[in-house]
Amino acid sequence: MRICDGLNLAKEFGNRFAYLLMEFHLKKSREWIFLHLNDELAKKDKFIELLDRYKNGEPLEYIFGSCEFMGRDFEVGQGVLIPRFETEILIEKALEIASKFNAPRIAEIGVGSGIISISLALELKNAKIIATDISLDALKYAKINKEKFQVDIELIESNYLDKVNGDFDIIISNPPYIAANYPLDKWVLSEPKTALIGGQIGDEILKDIINLAKSRAKYLICEMGYDQRESMKNYLDKLDFQSEFYTDLAGLDRGFVAYNKGK
């Protein structure tokens, strides 16, 4: 089998996918691959194995063991949510709010692989950041990435902030917000359901976090589902938050920044 034959097999899932998989398999650049298309494909059985893993529903990021986020490579794997590009907007919003404080005290609920807390810590040298998760798998990857980027964040196994004391300037979260009956493809279904499903309706965990933030934070910054703006706006109003919503690059509602008028 030549390199071009392997690429043609993988192009079932798109041209970009084929080259990414080949680059990973050969540990060569795309330019090198273009110049060697007719070369024999080294370890072709291993390449077919990688392709079969993807066909069977294993996300590319799990196969690679990493995912790019805000220009940095974070380690990911089974049991942890794969970072999405739209979460970069969440961090941009958090940095805007954090600039109001000299040494912001920040809590993240649901740290996952650590992309949010680590990205904030790299930009906010004076911040005190505590991050929680109920998943030991997620905390394992958060610890790996924390050490990789050498940031000072405290990682705690906890449901919400149950094992964390004190109040915060900012609570931030990209919580599960998908409804239980929402159809998902097999690659997304390979990710942990506890990081995806927010309840029967989908907004239940978001509402829990709003309730918690009411007594413990000046600002709450959350990602949410594209169809949850009305639900979130009504609930935030009910608890006396002043809220602003933002959209992703596709123009879909994607999150909110809420100021706790009672704090």
Burial class (CB in 10 A: 0-12, 13-18, 19+), 171: buried
pLDDT confidence of residue 32: 97
Question: Tens of pLDDT along 191-244?
Answer: 999 999 999 999 999 999 999 999 999 999 999 999 999 999 999 999 999 999
Q: Are residues 85 and 23 in the same domain?
A: no
Q: Are 31 and 110 members of one domain?
A: no
What is the Cα–Cα distance from 254 to 136, expressed in whole angstroms?
Answer: 27
Q: Residues 139-196: pLDDT tens digits?
A: 999 999 999 999 999 999 999 999 999 999 999 999 999 999 999 999 999 999 999 9
| Domain range enclosing 45 | 3-56
Asked if 11 and 18 touch (Cβ cutoff 8 Å), the reply is yes
What domain count does the chain have?
Answer: 2
Contact 199, 205 (CB under 8 A): yes
Does residue 154 sit within a domain?
Answer: yes
Same domain, 100 and 217: yes
Strands (E), the chain: 66-69, 72-75, 105-109, 128-133, 153-157, 168-173, 178-179, 197-199, 217-223, 241-247, 253-260
Q: What is the DSSP letter of 83?
A: P
Local structure of 221: helix, strand or coil: strand
Task: For residue 54, name the pLDDT band (cuts at 50, 70, 90).
Answer: very high
Residue 263 has pLDDT above 80, yes or no: no
Instruction: Please classify residue 174 by burial: count the beta carbons closer than 10 Å to its beta carbon, then call 0-12 exposed, 13-18 middle and 19+ buried.
Output: buried
Question: Nearest-CA neighbor of 80 among 221, 196, 183, 164?
Answer: 196
**Coil, strand, or helix at residue 84?**
coil
Q: How many CB atoms lie within 10 A of CB 161?
A: 21
Which pLDDT score, from 0 to 100, does residue 262 have?
85
Q: Where are the alpha helices (DSSP H) in 76-203?
A: 87-98, 115-123, 136-149
SS3 198: strand
Assign 107 to helix, strand or coil.
Answer: strand
- Report yes or no on 27 lying in a domain: yes
The answer to whether residues 27 and 93 belong to one domain is no
Is pLDDT above 90 for 137?
A: yes
Which band of pLDDT confidence, cut at 50, 70 and 90, is reported for residue 24?
very high
Instruction: Say what the pLDDT of residue 48 is.
Output: 97
What percentage of the chain carries pLDDT values higher than 70? 100
* CATH number for the domain that contains residue 168: 3.40.50.150
Inside any domain, residue 64: no
Nearest to 253 by CA among 219, 208, 203: 203
